[in-house]
């Protein structure tokens, strides 16, 4: 994450970093891919360095733990204590955000 080393947390990420994030965010469970795909469709134009750091932290956990977080079956602290950070929490809320009228498969 070269950009993160030279940027402020609120700076928007560049296309190269976005591409790397998308690649790193590919998951083994279809359900996680749906959440992540919807996340990028909604937020890719406004993602900041802080969001990228939070997303990368979430992508380090197992698919099952990530799905449990998405669905609210576990908290960040239950999955991994060092995930209880503002950047991770903000990205998790963005991942969970489902606009009214949009089903999970959209």
Answer whether residue 37 shows pLDDT above 80: yes
Is residue 101 a part of any domain in this protein? no
Is residue 88 a part of any domain in this protein? yes
What pLDDT was estimated at residue 4? Answer: 46
What pLDDT was estimated at residue 92? Answer: 97
Is residue 104 a part of any domain in this protein? no
Kindly report, residue by residue over 76-100, the tens digit of the pLDDT: 999 999 999 999 999 999 999 866 5
Is residue 105 a part of any domain in this protein? no
Structure tokens of 74? Answer: 């576990």
Is residue 38 a part of any domain in this protein? yes
Residue percentage of the chain with pLDDT more than 90: 82
What pLDDT was estimated at residue 42? Answer: 96
Gap between the Cα atoms of 94 and 105, Å rounded: 17
In which domain, by residue range, is 47 found?
2-96
Answer whether residue 39 shows pLDDT above 60: yes
What pLDDT was estimated at residue 34? Answer: 94
Q: What is the CATH number of the domain that holds 64?
A: 1.10.150.250
Kindly report, residue by residue over 48-81, the tens digit of the pLDDT: 999 999 999 999 999 999 999 999 999 999 999 9
Gap between the Cα atoms of 23 and 5, Å rounded: 20
Is residue 78 a part of any domain in this protein? yes
Answer whether residue 23 shows pLDDT above 80: yes
b/e 73-98 (16+ beta carbons within 10 angstroms → b): ebebeebbeebeeebbeebbebbeee
Domain count, the chain: 1
């Amino acid at each position: 994450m070269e950009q993160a080393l030279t940027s402020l947390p609120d700076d928007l990420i560049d296309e190269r970093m976005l591409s790397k994030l998308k690649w790193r965010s590919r998951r083994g469970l279809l359900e996680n891919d749906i959440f992540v795909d919807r996340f990028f469709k909604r937020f890719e134009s406004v993602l900041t360095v802080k969001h990228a750091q939070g997303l990368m932290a979430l992508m380090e956990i197992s698919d099952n733990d990530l799905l449990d977080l998405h669905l609210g079956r576990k908290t960040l602290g239950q999955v991994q204590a060092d995930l209880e950070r503002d950047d991770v929490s903000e990205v998790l809320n963005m991942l969970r955000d489902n606009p009214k009228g949009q089903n999970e498969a959209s």
